[in-house]
């Protein structure tokens, strides 16, 4: 909403959106719940059960964050209204234009804040507010697909950094000639799984091939999988005889060694054939623990699929990573455009998306579209 002249009607529209968000977030209940949780945390012996105490404090922190976010948004709305009203009272005074510009700037910031609040209000899944495990793997396109996988990996690193999320790269081995063989990383932060599940699916790249001496146009694909990090209260039992653990030498993107010992770990779940690798940590024990966390999340997902036949609740339907199955296209030649084929959201600023990780318009657009599809 970057406008030189903001109107009272536009501010009314933002206020209406904010009212809806407050209802969706059950903010009155959260205020009461925060008071109750604060009372509990002040009781003697609260920390005797450390695990229960941590869960209470996490819930309290989340409730406080939601309340503060809405209160901050209402303060921004009040500031914009005050600036606009004062500008109207000043008539033709030259300083009135500055006040209108100030109101417009505040309204733009408010609009982005409400976008984020709307997202939070739409996240009603069991794991939406928690952490995520993201896996990227090359599809059709040969060497180009491995390079495309690396480009997507870097794009998501930038996106996570923009949101202040903590990222742990579990596995990212270099391909033999260009790019990477695959990437798996864990993202820790508020609403990480809810946000990133919008990215699950096939991503298509069209460009002039950097590996083709004749400079021909190349179309290539990579697949993105997003699954939740399971909370501690969900325990998936894995029999020791059901897994095979292999240890090998680690390597990173570009061919450099991640460390100098044979600490990388590959865990194979024999009954399902699921394979998980991790080489980020310095010790075999740490890498095995990371592999088991990812394996448990995938087995949980598999169990949901068997029980409910609703795989797309977690990561979207399984499709071949190739033609006709893409959720988003990134075109670098003969023109420049990134377009989400589900929502129609598009931009010509390809560098902002790939180089700066500016994915919010696509992710917010996806959740707005998905919510409207559910309602209809």
**pLDDT number for residue 158:** 98
Which class is 132-232+328-375 in CATH?
A: alpha beta
Please name the residue that has the structure tokens 């809810």.
194
The span from the CA of 85 to the CA of 193, in Å, is 41
**Overall average pLDDT of the 322-331 stretch:** 86
Helices (H), 191-236: 192-196
Q: What is the mean pLDDT of the chain?
A: 87
The predicted structure's pLDDT at residue 62 = 84
Q: What are 204-214's pLDDT values in tens digits? A: 999 998 877 78
Contact 204, 127 (CB under 8 A): no
Which pLDDT score, from 0 to 100, does residue 311 have? 42
Residue 298: partners with Cβ closer than 8 Å, 6 or more residues away: 227, 274, 276
Q: In the chain, where are the structural domains located?
A: 8-122, 132-232+328-375, 243-312
Secondary-structure class of domain 243-312 per CATH: alpha beta
CA-to-CA distance for 152 and 224, rounded, in angstroms? 9
pLDDT tens for each residue of 257-273:
444 457 899 999 999 99
Given a cut of 50, is residue 2 above it in pLDDT? no
Q: Does domain 8-122 have CATH number 1.20.58.410?
A: yes
Question: Tens digits of per-residue pLDDT, 21-34?
Answer: 888 888 899 999 99
Distance CA 56, CA 176 (A): 48
Q: How many residues does the chain have?
A: 376
pLDDT of residue 348: 97
What's the pLDDT at 125?
84
């Amino acid at each position: 909403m970057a406008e030189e002249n903001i109107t009272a009607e536009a501010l009314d529209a933002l206020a209406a959106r904010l009212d809806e968000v407050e209802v969706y977030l059950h903010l009155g209940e959260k205020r009461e719940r925060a008071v109750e949780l604060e009372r509990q945390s002040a009781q003697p012996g609260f920390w005797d059960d450390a695990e229960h105490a941590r869960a209470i404090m996490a819930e309290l922190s989340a409730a406080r964050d939601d309340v503060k976010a809405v209160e901050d948004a209402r303060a921004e709305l009040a500031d914009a209204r005050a600036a606009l009203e004062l500008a109207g009272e000043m008539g033709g005074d030259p300083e009135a234009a500055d006040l209108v510009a100030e109101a417009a700037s505040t309204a733009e910031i408010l609009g982005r804040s409400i976008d984020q609040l709307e997202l939070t209000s739409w996240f009603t899944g069991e794991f939406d507010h928690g952490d995520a495990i993201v896996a990227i793997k090359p599809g059709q396109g040969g060497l180009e697909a491995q390079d495309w996988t690396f480009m997507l990996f870097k794009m998501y690193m930038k996106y996570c950094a923009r949101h202040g999320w903590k990222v742990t790269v579990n596995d990212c081995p270099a391909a033999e000639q260009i790019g990477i063989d695959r990437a798996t990383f864990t993202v820790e932060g508020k609403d990480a799984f809810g946000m990133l599940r919008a990215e699950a699916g096939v991503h298509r790249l069209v460009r002039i091939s950097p590996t083709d001496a004749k400079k021909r146009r190349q179309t290539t694909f990579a697949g993105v999988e997003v699954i939740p990090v399971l909370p501690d209260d969900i325990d998936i039992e894995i029999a020791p005889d059901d897994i095979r653990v292999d240890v090998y030498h680690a390597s990173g993107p570009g061919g450099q060694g991640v460390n100098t010992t044979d600490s990388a770990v590959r865990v194979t779940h024999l009954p399902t054939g699921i394979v998980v690798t991790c080489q980020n940590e310095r010790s075999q024990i740490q890498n095995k623990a990371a592999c088991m966390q990812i394996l448990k999340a995938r087995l949980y997902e598999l169990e949901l699929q068997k029980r409910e036949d609703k795989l797309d609740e977690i990561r979207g339907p399984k499709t071949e990573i190739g033609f006709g199955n893409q959720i988003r296209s990134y075109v670098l030649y003969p023109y420049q455009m990134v377009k989400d084929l589900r929502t129609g959201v598009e931009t010509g600023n390809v560098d902002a998306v790939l180089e700066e990780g500016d994915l919010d318009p696509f992710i917010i657009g996806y959740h707005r579209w998905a919510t409207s599809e559910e309602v209809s």
